[in-house]
Amino acid sequence: MKISTAKSAGFCFGVERAVKMVYDQVGQENNVYTYGPIIHNEEVVKDLQEKGVTVIESLEELKNYPKGTIIIRSHGVPEDIYQKINEYGFKVVDATCPYVLKIHKIVREHSHEGRHIIIIGNRSHPEVEGIIGWCKSGTEEDSYTVVENELDAEKIALPNDTKLSIVTQTTYNYKKFQELVEIISKKGYDILVLNTICNATEKRQAEAYELAKVSDAMIVIGGKASSNTRKLYEICKKECENTYYIQKLDDLDLNEFKSFSNVGITAGASTPNNIIKEVHTAMSEKSFEQLLEEEKVVEINNGDIVEGVVLSVKEDEIILNIGYKSEGIIARNEYSNTPNVDLTQQVSVGDTMQAKVLKVNDGEGQVALTYKRLAVEKGHKRLEEAFNNQEVLTANVAAVLKGGLSVIIDEARVFIPASLISDTYEKDLQKYAGQEIQFVITEFNPRKRRIIGDRKQLIVKEKEALKKELFEKISVGMSIEGTVKNITDFGAFIDLGGADGLLHISEMSWGRVDNPKKLFKVGDKVTTFIKDIQGDKIALSLKFEDQNPWIKVEEKYAVGTDVTGTVARMTDFGAFIELEPGIDALLHVSQISKEHVDKPSDVLKIGQEITARVVELNTEEKKISLSIKAMKQDNGQEAEDNSEATVETEVTEETTEE
């Protein structure tokens, strides 16, 4: 077994300085106190307590203790704490990390300049609590905001003219810091970003990341309350599934490491070097050889695949006879990824099963087994083959996640990002819940838990095939049925089964169409004809020639015919009268009345029904001219003729009487 320890593991400069200051005071003073644990390491704090150092958590406790020296912990404290300690009559020794003191100075200056302080970090961490105490008086919440995660960053809603200064906890993850700063930057504030992450922290995290990538297992050593150790664990866990978080050697089960070839060790900034060396020694080749000697009497090992017969089944547990001195146990969560599955519905007494050994001794003398992880390994092999062969897989959607879909193949999970679900934007992914879908594997890296599926390329390929088939059979002039896919102000896109055709607003009717949405809705079936094909573009039309209203225009609108229509639109020179859909006639301003009319809108209204006489018909240019004046003149002449006839009759009658 190869053991590798990160170069930067263990005490950083600030922690080492703080611990040394406490030990130095122990030799000089009788009454030594630390304001909170000097560092986040239980072993160090315990050793100091044994040497007479008292940890106080609040200034009120000082009332009960004799005067002495209070050492400010490496995480720092709010500004007002110093004055209050002096008021109690205690001497102050400041062990605050110089990097933290730099942050205190920055936020104090910037907040007094009127800038709003954004503190990126864990709001309950003592370092962050200390930083808050340097923002103005430390009591005005509107002078600072603590951001722990993306949600906090998104929720920032300050006045637009607010000036921001962004600092961060010295032990914060640098990549996460960048992500949160990017979210805040998009809000448009005047922002000053100060990267206050300790260089040692960045270096330690980078080393842990690189070591985890090449290790079969990682050991992260540090106190459970240590923020920087927790972040090291998270970084290593992403790169190496077999990552263990311990505080001291006693927390480590060496049997867990028998099957590993390369083991990496890193430690938080508060971890003493003696603990790191102790763990390294225990993991050394000599210790490992001793483990192998012990292993000779063992018939099974962690990681072995065993076969057994089901002795009993409960809802949450399966007991197997695996031919070993102890029985094997498969817990519910090691049988399947399906939550709350009833195991009595899955297996029966007498069934033969294969499982993988998790622990030879689970602490109660039984062998801890996993069926799920063995199935996952088989599933991974299945997915790897599919990845290499670009095989199309079919599975039901197991879960709808924030950024995509999760499907399971033989207990192995495949993630399909939202961008790879369809060739168009999918706003509601819930419609896929429980659905059977097809996809291909485009990325296979189970070590990093990145197994990516792609449904989009299958849809694109299918549409390309349908498109090719469609263009091989269509031609200009043919009628075709399709489904309304999208409607815009200028027309409607019709899905023809392989490609979309555009039905322009001008081709929707022989008449005038103001709004396509009044004629169609998405999902409507419509039969059109192909007006034109230009490359991949298909122009459609509903203006079928046999429905052209101009075919019989000479019969219906011969010169001299009185017609009735509706005022459709007006210009300064005349009004256009719709006689029927597709046929508009011009009523010139000079033909509206015998009296002078300046413009049509003085006497006519849109939608008004009028009667006029056809005075001109040009079928070639599709023009019809109307006149109300001509019709009224003729009607007036007829009235005059009738009047003259009546007079003549009366005169004749009078003459006859004489």
pLDDT in tens, 406-425: 998 877 889 999 999 988 88
Report if residue 287 sits inside a domain: no
Q: Among residues of the chain, what percentage have pLDDT more than 90?
A: 37
Same domain, 78 and 143: no
Whether residue 411 lies inside any domain: the answer is yes
Degrees, nearest 5: CA angle 613-616-621:
135
User: Are 389 and 408 within one domain?
Assistant: yes
CA-CA-CA-CA torsion sign (149, 154, 157, 159): positive
CB atoms within 10 A of CB 475: 8
**Other beta carbons within 10 Å of 603:** 16
How far apart are the C-alpha atoms of 483 and 70, rounded to whole Å?
A: 80
Q: Is the pLDDT of residue 572 over 50?
A: yes
Bridge partners of 111, per DSSP, are: none
- Residue 635 — pLDDT band, cuts 50, 70, 90? low
Burial class (CB in 10 A: 0-12, 13-18, 19+), 658: exposed
Q: What angle do CA 370, 372, 378 make, to 5 degrees?
A: 115
Angular region, 607: left φ>0, alpha ψ -120 to 50, beta rest: left
Predicted pLDDT at 536: 87
C-alpha radius of gyration, the chain, whole number = 43
Q: Are 379 and 412 in contact (CB under 8 A)?
A: yes
Residue ending a domain, choose from 94, 118, 135: 94
The reply to whether 613 and 585 lie within a common domain is yes
CA distances from 133 to 29, 55, 111, 119, 129 (A): 29, 21, 11, 12, 7
pLDDT at 362: 66
Could you say which DSSP state residue 73 is in?
P
Residues 82 and 103 reside in one and the same domain = no
Beta bridge partners of 614: 626
pLDDT confidence bin for 199, thresholds 50/70/90:
confident
pLDDT band at 609 (very low <50, low <70, confident <90, very high): very high
Residues 377-397: tens digit of each pLDDT: 888 888 988 999 999 999 999
The string of pLDDT tens digits covering residues 265-278 is 998 877 887 788 88
Domain range for 176:
98-197
The 10 Å Cβ neighbour count of residue 132 is 19
Of 45-59, 272-286, 422-436, 471-485, the least confident: 272-286
Number of H helices, E strands in the chain: 15, 32
Paired strand residues for 610: 565
Cα end-to-end span (Å), the chain: 151
Strand partners, 331: 317
pLDDT, tens digit, for every residue of 337-349? 777 889 999 999 8
CATH code, domain with 454: 2.40.50.140
H or E stretch at 285: helix 285-295
Residues with Cβ < 8 Å from 89, sequence gap 6 or more?
67
* Integer Cα distance of 120 and 168 in angstroms: 4
pLDDT at position 297 is 38
Percent of the chain with pLDDT over 70: 92
Is there a domain that residue 247 lies in?
no
* Residues 103, 86 share a domain: no
Count CB-CB contacts under 10 A for residue 147. Answer: 23
In a domain, residue 6? The reply is yes
Q: Is 138 within the bounds of a domain? A: yes
Q: Are 219 and 264 in contact (CB under 8 A)?
A: yes
Residues 117 and 191 in one domain: yes
β 537-541/525-534 pair status: antiparallel
User: At 131, which CATH number?
Assistant: 3.40.1010.20
Question: What amino acid positions are annotated as catalytic residues?
Answer: 127
**pTM to 2 decimals?**
0.40
Alpha-carbon distance 601 to 173, whole Å? Answer: 72
Q: Are residues 572 and 525 in the same domain?
A: no
113 and 151 inside one domain: yes
Q: How far apart are CA 246 and CA 219, in angstroms?
A: 7
Q: Which residues of 519-542 are buried (b: 16+ CB within 10 A; e: fewer)?
A: bbeeeeebebbbbeeeeeebbbbb
CA 248 to chain centre: 39
Residues 6+ apart with CB under 8 A from 364: none
Whether the pLDDT of residue 50 is over 90: the answer is: no
* Domain match, 165 and 131 both: yes
Nearest C-alpha neighbor of 525 from the set 482, 569, 472, 492:
482
> Residue 658: its pLDDT value, please?
33
Strand-pair partners of 626: 587, 614
- Average pLDDT value over all residues in the chain: 85
Q: What are phi and psi of 328, to 5 degrees?
A: -100, 145
Which residue matches tokens 């290499």? 388
Residue type, position 453, single letter:
G
- Count of beta carbons in the 10 Å neighbourhood of residue 490: 10
Cβ(443)–Cβ(416) under 8 Å? Answer: no
Is 405 part of any domain? yes
Q: Can you tell me the distance from the alpha carbon of 121 to that of 239, in angstroms, rounded to the nearest whole number?
A: 23
- Same domain as 121, residue 84: no
Length of the chain: 658
Q: Which helix (H) or strand (E) holds 329?
A: strand 328-331
Sheet containing 190-193, strands listed edge to edge, beginning at the edge strand earlier in sequence: 144-147, 116-120, 163-168, 190-193
Q: 264-300 b/e with 16+ CB inside 10 Å = b?
A: bbbbbbbbbeebbebbbeebeeeebeeeeeeeeeeeb
Closest CA to 383 of 391, 372, 373: 391
Confidence of residue 484 (pLDDT cuts 50, 70, 90): very high
Last residue of a domain, one of 488, 519, 547: 547
Residue 292, pLDDT > 50, answer no
Structure tokens at 10: 């263990």
Q: Domain for residue 433, yes or no? A: yes
Place of tokens 């719709």: 578
Q: Is residue 238 part of a domain?
A: no
Q: What was the pLDDT predicted at 141?
A: 59
What is residue 2's DSSP assignment? E
Which of 133, 168, 197 lies at the terminal end of a domain, its last residue?
197
Rounded distance between C-alpha atoms, residue 64 and residue 4, angstroms? 48
Q: What is the tally of structural domains in the chain?
A: 6
pLDDT at 240: 93
Task: List beta partners, residue 221.
Answer: 246, 267
Same structural domain, 345 and 382: no
Which residues, in sequence order, are CB contacts of 281 under 8 Å at separation 6+?
287
Q: Hey, which residues does 413 pair with through a beta bridge?
A: 408
Q: Which of 326, 330, 310 is nearest to 361 (CA)?
A: 326
pLDDT, one tens digit per residue, over 487-508 is: 999 999 999 988 899 999 988 9
Judge if 336 and 380 occupy the same domain.
no
Average pLDDT over residues 181-196: 90
